[in-house]
Amino acid sequence: MGEVDPAFIQAEEHRPKLESTEAQGIPLIDLSDLSNDIVKKVGDACRDWGFFQVINHGVPLEKRDQIFKASREFFGQKLEDKNKVRRSEKEVMGYYDTEHTKNVRDWKEVFDFTMEIPTLFPSSHQVYNQWPPYPPQLREDCEEYGKEMERLGYLLMEVIAKSLGVKAERFHGFFKDQTSFIRLNHYPACPVPQLALGVGRHKDAGALTILAQDDVGGLQVKRKSDGVWVLVNPIPNSYIINVGDIIQVWSNERYESVEHRVKVNGEKERFSVPFFFNPSHYTMVQPLEEMTDEHNPAKYKPYNWGNFLATRKLSNFKKLDVDNIQISHFKISDLADK
Ligand SMILES: O=C(O)CCC(=O)C(=O)O
Ligand SMILES: [Fe+2]
């Protein structure tokens, strides 16, 4: 990435401290026992943290190892080779190294691919994958891994539905024609880890994120109880799950999408692979009827997910002079607060 471009430098109040608290308390849940106890544990974690880790999730280790290996091989190429699948304003999937979060450049490079091909977006936004020639097995590894993520995504949505007291399949219909995508993240070692971030503070806009990280560590979560940034410990072969903005809206804020960011390392590079489980573009996102009643009215106006996603993707692609789209724009202000 060469000289440190000022575009990477975070405002002082957002700079990471070099030492940071380890996340004592982020729940670790064993999914092999699908009893009510798990439902309660997942529900409590969604409410108290917006984050949890899972083990015994059923994703074969071999599939995870393969996608990490392919990712390392892909990013290890020369820039001119990675540029063969470069993302553009129109081709929203593929490689790029200029993502901005809240208008500050992230210290990372990414490769995005979508699950359904072509993902059904509004006709102006047909989404196709761009597969690189090298490494040759990357496409197959990605597609195989994607199937595992989808399976785990549905399973987790069932547990979350039960924890909210609605029927297990309540959310399934929203994911027909889903706009889910997977991102390969590479965070190179950074000469100024105290000034830049791998990903600036943000909340995930989709429904649910399932993240695999390597053993380097760097993901930090803003702890709900006190606002302190705590590090999510890498646990071998576990997945980090977080509630996205859409679950916050569907649950009418029973669960909250929590801010997180990625610190970079002065010596070590880091790899991670998030799966963003997203509904169809034509989903009107709004609180579930079951989550509202006269004492607990809907806190959000319905919004169209496809438009939200397209607007957010454009603002992450290039620096804009306005703040990017947020669910707070659809919040119904409470008369009692006025
Ligand atoms: O790499 C990570 O640990 C997290 C990345 C992330 O938060 C994101 O891509 O939304
Ligand atoms: Fe994120």
- The CA angle 259-264-268, to the nearest 5 degrees, is 145
Digit-coded pLDDT (tens) for 189-217:
999 999 999 999 999 999 999 999 999 99
Q: Which residues contact 316 (CB under 8 A, 6 or more apart)?
A: 99, 100, 101, 324
Task: Pick the atom of ligand 1 nearest to 213's CA.
Answer: 3
Please report the pLDDT score of residue 94 as a whole number: 95
Nearest CA to ligand 1 atom 1: 272
Nearest CA to ligand 1 atom 10: 204
CA of 199 to the centre of ligand 1 (A): 7
Q: Which residues contact 75 (CB under 8 A, 6 or more apart)?
A: 82, 109, 111, 184, 186, 271
CB 111 within 8 A of CB 94: yes
CB 86 within 8 A of CB 99: no
Q: 196: closest CA among 20, 2, 11?
A: 11
CB 135 within 8 A of CB 74: yes
Considering every ligand atom shown, identify the ligand nearest to the alpha carbon of residue 71 and give its number. 1
Pocket test for ligand 1, best of 96, 211, 235, 316 (most atoms within 8 A of CB): 211
Please report the pLDDT score of residue 337 as a whole number: 46
ipTM reported for the complex surpasses 0.90: yes
End-to-end CA distance of the chain: 48
Please report the pLDDT score of residue 18 as a whole number: 64
> What long-range pairs does 213-219 form, CB within 8 A, spacing at least 24?
213/240, 213/270, 213/271, 213/272, 214/68, 214/270, 214/271, 214/272, 216/265, 216/268, 216/269, 216/270, 216/271, 217/270, 218/187, 218/262, 218/263, 218/264, 218/265, 218/270, 219/260, 219/261, 219/262, 219/272
Task: Pick the atom of ligand 1 nearest to 270's CA.
Answer: 1
Nearest 5°: phi and psi at 281?
Answer: -65, -25
CB 123 within 8 A of CB 115: no
Considering every ligand atom shown, identify the ligand nearest to the alpha carbon of residue 234 and give its number. 1
CB 240 within 8 A of CB 301: no
Per-residue pLDDT of the chain (338 residues; tens, 9 = 90+): 457 899 999 999 999 876 666 667 799 999 998 777 999 999 999 999 999 999 999 999 999 999 999 999 999 999 999 999 999 877 889 999 988 888 889 999 999 999 865 555 555 566 789 999 999 999 999 999 999 999 999 999 999 999 999 999 999 999 999 999 999 999 999 999 999 999 999 999 999 999 999 999 999 999 999 999 999 999 999 999 999 999 999 999 999 999 999 999 999 999 999 999 999 999 999 999 999 999 999 999 999 999 998 888 776 666 665 667 899 999 997 544 43
Looking up tokens 């470069």 gives 86
Task: Pick the atom of ligand 1 nearest to 204's CA.
Answer: 10
Please report the pLDDT score of residue 102 as a whole number: 84
CA of 231 to the centre of ligand 1 (A): 13
CA of 148 to the centre of ligand 1 (A): 19
CATH assignment, 6-330: 2.60.120.330
Please report the pLDDT score of residue 1 as a whole number: 47
pTM: 0.94
CA–CA gap between residue 192 and residue 211 (Å, rounded): 25
- The CA angle 144-45-153, to the nearest 5 degrees, is 20
Nearest CA to ligand 1 atom 9: 274
Please report the pLDDT score of residue 336 as a whole number: 46
CA of 186 to the centre of ligand 1 (A): 10
Q: Which residues contact 3 (CB under 8 A, 6 or more apart)?
A: none
Considering every ligand atom shown, identify the ligand nearest to the alpha carbon of residue 202 and give its number. 2
Considering every ligand atom shown, identify the ligand nearest to the alpha carbon of residue 316 and give its number. 1
Provide residues with CB under 6 Å of ligand 1. 183, 185, 199, 204, 211, 213, 219, 260, 262, 272, 274
Pocket test for ligand 1, best of 219, 257, 258 (most atoms within 8 A of CB): 219
Task: Pick the atom of ligand 1 nearest to 110's CA.
Answer: 9
CA of 43 to the centre of ligand 1 (A): 22
Please report the pLDDT score of residue 123 as a whole number: 55
Residue type, 324: N
